[in-house]
Amino acid sequence: MNPVIGQCPICQETLHVTRLHCRNCDTALEGHFSLGRLYQLSAQQLAFVEIFIRCEGKINRVEQEIGLSYPAVRARLTEVIEAMGYEVGAPEPGPVSEETRREVLAELSDGTISAEEALQMLRGKD
């Protein structure tokens, strides 16, 4: 079987899956299905991801396996991260302090903020 591709070989736009088929029972599903972020990668980027995973994310092992320097491996990793639609080096929102948590819950209890707003604040998002 041929591998699934995520980009049109003609115009490079994202391909959309519209039909799934089971070869065992001949069931077919039609609709719009997402391929996921990994299918946004080129064949070369996907090969790099496979090596990176096989090396357990250890850049020094990736360097040895593909014969590139640390900066070159890091540049490829950055390229993959961006191709998947993530921001490189974006900090994860940290947990809020106990004091902030209490203030948010008090505001929620008073009705000055909605449950949705409280949830966002507790997740560390403004």
Structure tokens, 13: 């736009």
Per-residue model confidence (pLDDT) at position 62: 95
| Domain assignments of the chain as residue spans, ordered by start | 41-83, 93-126
- What pLDDT is stored for residue 92 in this prediction? 58
What is the residue-level pLDDT of the chain in tens, covering all 126 positions? 777 888 888 998 888 889 999 999 999 999 988 878 888 888 899 999 999 999 999 999 999 999 999 889 999 999 999 988 888 875 555 677 888 888 888 988 998 888 888 888 887 765
Percent helix / strand / coil, the chain, rounded to 5? 45, 10, 45
H/E stretch holding 29 reads strand 28-33
Calculate ∠ Cα 83-94-53, nearest 5°: 40
* pLDDT score of 43: 84
- The CA-atom distances, in angstroms, between 38 and each of 4, 13, 44, 91, 126 are 11, 15, 12, 22, 30
